Amino acid sequence: MGSTADFRTGMALDMEGQLFYLVEFQHVKPGKGGAFVRTKLKNVRSGAVLERTFRSGESISEVRLERRKMQYLYNNGGFYYLMDTENYDQVPIAEEQVSGIKGYLKENMEVQVLSRGDEVLGVEVPLSVVLAVTETEPGFKGDTASSVTKPARLETGLVVQVPLFINQGDVLKVDTRTGKYLERA
Domain count for the chain, please give it: 3
**Largest Cα span, the chain:** 62
Torsion sign over Cα 105, 111, 114, 120 = positive
Its domain, for residue 73, covers 66-124
Average pLDDT score over residue span 98-125: 84
Q: Which of 77, 104, 124 marks a domain boundary?
A: 124
For residues 95 and 78, membership in a common domain is answered with yes
Q: Are 85 and 42 in contact (CB under 8 A)?
A: no
Q: Which of 63, 84, 114 marks a domain boundary?
A: 63
pLDDT digits (tens, 9 = 90+) for 39-88: 998 887 777 788 999 888 888 888 888 888 999 999 888 899 999 888 88
- What's the predicted TM-score (pTM) here? 0.70
For residues 133 and 117, membership in a common domain is answered with no
pLDDT of residue 113: 87
Residue in 48, 57, 50, 60 with CA at minimum distance from that of residue 15: 60
Element counts in the chain: helices (H) and strands (E)? 0, 17
Average pLDDT score over residue span 132-141: 83
For residues 53 and 100, membership in a common domain is answered with no
Average pLDDT score over residue span 102-113: 90
Structural Rg of the chain based on CA atoms: 21
